[in-house]
Chains A and B, each alone.
Chain A
Amino acid sequence: MIKIAIASGKGGTGKTMVATSMAFSLAKEHNIQFLDCDVEAPNAHLFLKPEISEVKPAVINVPKIDYNQCILCSRCVDICEFNALAMLGEKIFVFEQLCHGCGSCTIHCPVNAISETPRKIGELNIGNFINDHRYLYGELTISEPMPTPIIRQLKALIREEVEIAILDSPPGASCSVVATLHDADYVILVTEPTPFGLHDLKQMLGVIAQTGSPAGVIINRDGIGDSNLEDYLATTQFPILLKIPYQENIAVGLATGRLLIDILPEIKDAFTDMFLAIKSTLETEVGV
């Protein structure tokens, strides 16, 4: 299986546009699984229009204290790094929204007074797009702060036997992006030729330097800004995989839920060619 993640530091650069058109282009000749990992603002389903057949809860396992067993030693309170437990009077209280579900309190309770109970923080939606290509998207429940457990649980549903996994990443360069990218075989970075696009791309290259996966860049809204982005990329080893022109009809088409390859049919081959280029990069890297 090849796992390709589509990411960007800045929001709104066109990650979902690229991911959905790439999925659609590759779906004809390859077996695909699509994961929308932007669980705070998942949008790819608006374009790929999957049929969702199963919805599972995404959960954090939070401690449940058996007060008959608890000896009030406060060991759990002392070891919790997230301040999710507190002793108030003669009782241990759990602050569920602060709990990361690490299980440390359960493991280290000397009298086994702690068990765990799942707390729902979102949903995992499972279905199909086009014919029988697998579609997965996570959705963070409103007012919940932590997207990363949902991303991890979503990725646990990836099937090894499916040829290609396309992961649509959330924006940013911190925990939820790392949770999406850390084991990707290849990362496609989507950016735009503006000062913001360049600044945020550099943040992403910092992430890539730590995850160690090969990466390439797609320049979206080509023509909108200046040449600083390309000048900078020329000083790095990151290839420009594709340039998508800046055209008003693309913006309008996307707003109505159309795929880029339908708005701009001449770009269709570019996605299949890009996949072949990525594949050959990966084969060279692993020496196959």
Chain B
Amino acid sequence: MLSQNKPVKQLVILSGKGGTGKTCLTAALVHLSSQSKTKSIFVDADVDAANLALVVEAKNIETRAFNSSKLAHIDPDLCNNCNKCYEVCRYNAIKIPSNSNESYKVIDLLCDGCASCVYICPQSAIEMVEQQDGEWYFSSSPYGPLFHAELFPAAENTGKLVTLIKQHARLFAEDHNEYPLIIIDGPPGIGCPVISSSAGVDLALLVAEPGLSGLHDLERIIKTLAHFKIPIVICVNKANLYSKGTREILQMAASENITIIGEIPFDNAIPESMARGMPVTKFLPNSPASKEIESVWIEIQKEIFKAE
């Protein structure tokens, strides 16, 4: 059945550097959205360190396995210790047995899943075995529906898992026309899961932290998003903690023609609200941080729906 709805808009929250306040800000935006006309579905795309569910009173509705990667497995009964798998493996993932009673083994942590060993093995003793890399969840919250996931420790395919939960959020939006927006809490860095989080979004909100590291990483995430032609706005967090650093961010944004849509002051209300497991705008709506985030939310709605 064809949907008659306008396509849902997507906002991603990113930072380059970790720990600048992406999740705190996302939780507050999600709370404000639930009280405004722009209701939203939200996605926690930081599947290595998924924390959004901890601060939005999430109640799990559905859990599904995420099976994606494949790892080589050697059948010890068929292996004749010819060493060919060891020779072709570029990841040092084949363990040579220490005595003749043992057979060759694959070190799972190092296996990249390329299957080169499978095709070289003259005994056909190696096969690729599908792995469960994590779980993904659909949850409800007082602020809207949440799609999130946990990658198992040391597992692979973060990018694919992010793409999967974003896809489910979009399908949900198509079936439920009361949600014009998807808010995505992104991972740190600039690599694979960041690129997956940003694919197809209408706007990226960057949470910038004043200081040398914050500025350095902000420049790298801006370049990454510019490469993929994604529109950017910046919100400075802990802006009054180091005002010279905040000025540097403002200067850089001006030179790159990027709008600064807010300067959230350092405010103890934020760590306190996180410890209580709720968005700061709900915990202390009149705190300085909450007031500023309210205006950030207004600016975001203007920015993301401005073409209409």
Contacts and interface: CB of A to CB of B under 8 A. Distances in A.
B49 A178 contact: no
28 contacts: A10-B18, A10-B19, A10-B51, A41-B17, A41-B213, A41-B216, A79-B115, A81-B70, A81-B113, A103-B88, A103-B114, A104-B88, A108-B116, A140-B190, A142-B220, A145-B195, A173-B154, A175-B156, A175-B158, A195-B277, A199-B49, A199-B54, A203-B48, A203-B153, A207-B154, A225-B271, A255-B211, A257-B211
B223 A146 contact: no
B153 A81 contact: no
Interface of A: 9-13, 16, 40-41, 43, 46, 79, 81-82, 100-104, 107-108, 140, 142-147, 170-178, 182, 194-196, 199-200, 203-207, 209-211, 224-226, 248, 251-252, 254-257
A43 B20 CA distance: 14
Contacts, number: 200
B116 A104 contact: yes
A226 B275 contact: yes
Contacts of B49: 9-11, 171-173, 196, 199-200, 203
Given A107-B116, A107-B120, A11 B274 contact: no
A196 B154 contact: no
A176 B18 CA distance: 15
Contacts of B220: 40-41, 142
B165 to A, nearest CB: 15
A230 to B, nearest CB: 14
Nearest to B88: A107
A235 to B, nearest CB: 18
A196 B23 contact: yes
Contacts of B242: 251-252, 255-256
B262 interface: no
Interface of B: 16-20, 23, 48-51, 54-55, 70, 88, 90-91, 108-110, 112-116, 119-120, 128, 150-156, 158-159, 187-192, 194-195, 209-214, 216-217, 220, 223-224, 227-228, 238, 241-242, 244-245, 266, 271, 274-275, 277
A102 B154 contact: no
* Residue from A41, A195, A225, A248 with most neighbouring chain B CB atoms (10 Å): A41
Given A41-B190, A206-B153, 15 more contacts: A12-B188, A43-B212, A102-B116, A103-B88, A143-B224, A171-B188, A172-B48, A172-B49, A174-B48, A178-B109, A178-B154, A182-B109, A194-B271, A200-B49, A256-B212
B289 to A, nearest CB: 15
A205 B194 CA distance: 24
B191 A174 contact: no
B187 A172 contact: yes
Contacts of B50: 199
B189 A41 contact: yes
